[in-house]
């Protein structure tokens, strides 16, 4: 579960970013979840009154989690994420290899290149 001020809105952001469908949500924005096609995996979102976003890398409001997404085209994925409301974090520990972004409510997530083939 990801805490946020509006569960449906954040689920829609990640749904557009990943191409996964919003599998359930209440209209009031209290809860929502995504399910990748063909799986039982779920990412849930819940509204928290007085939500305080994490401050990354500053720990004054600690990061609760972060998601990594492997993408085949980093530039196109960055463009999509920003169009959907994400912002690139000021601190980029991966340089140009991967990018840290903040979702519309401040949770950090990473866009990473595909795994090297073994």
Q: Are 113 and 67 in contact (CB under 8 A)?
A: no
How many separate domains does the chain show?
A: 2
d(CA 74, CA 54) in angstroms, rounded, equals 24
Q: What range does the domain containing 89 cover?
A: 52-118
Under 8 Å between Cβ of 104 and 9: yes
pLDDT along the chain (118 residues), means of 10: 93 95 88 90 91 82 80 95 97 90 94 78
Distance between the two ends of the chain, CA-based, in angstroms?
33
**38 and 56, same domain (yes or no):** no
pLDDT digits (tens, 9 = 90+) for 41-59: 889 999 999 998 888 777 7
39-51 b/e (C-beta count within 10 Å ≥ 16 → b): eeeebebbbeeee
Domain of 107: which CATH number? 3.10.180.10
Q: At how many degrees (to 10) do helices 7-18 and 74-83 cross? A: 150
| Span 12-21, pLDDT tens digits | 999 999 999 8
């Amino acid at each position: 579960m990801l805490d946020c001020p509006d569960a449906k809105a954040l689920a829609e952001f990640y749904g557009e970013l990943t191409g996964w469908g919003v599998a359930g949500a209440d209209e009031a924005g209290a809860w929502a979840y995504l399910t990748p096609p063909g799986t039982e995996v779920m990412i849930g979102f819940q509204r928290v009154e007085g939500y305080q976003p994490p401050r990354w890398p500053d720990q004054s409001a600690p990061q609760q989690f972060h998601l990594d997404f492997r993408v085949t085209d980093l530039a196109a994925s960055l463009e999509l994420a920003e169009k959907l409301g994400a912002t690139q974090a000021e601190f980029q520990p991966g340089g140009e290899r991967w990018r840290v972004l903040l979702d519309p409510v401040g949770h950090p997530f990473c866009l990473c290149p595909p795994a090297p083939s073994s």
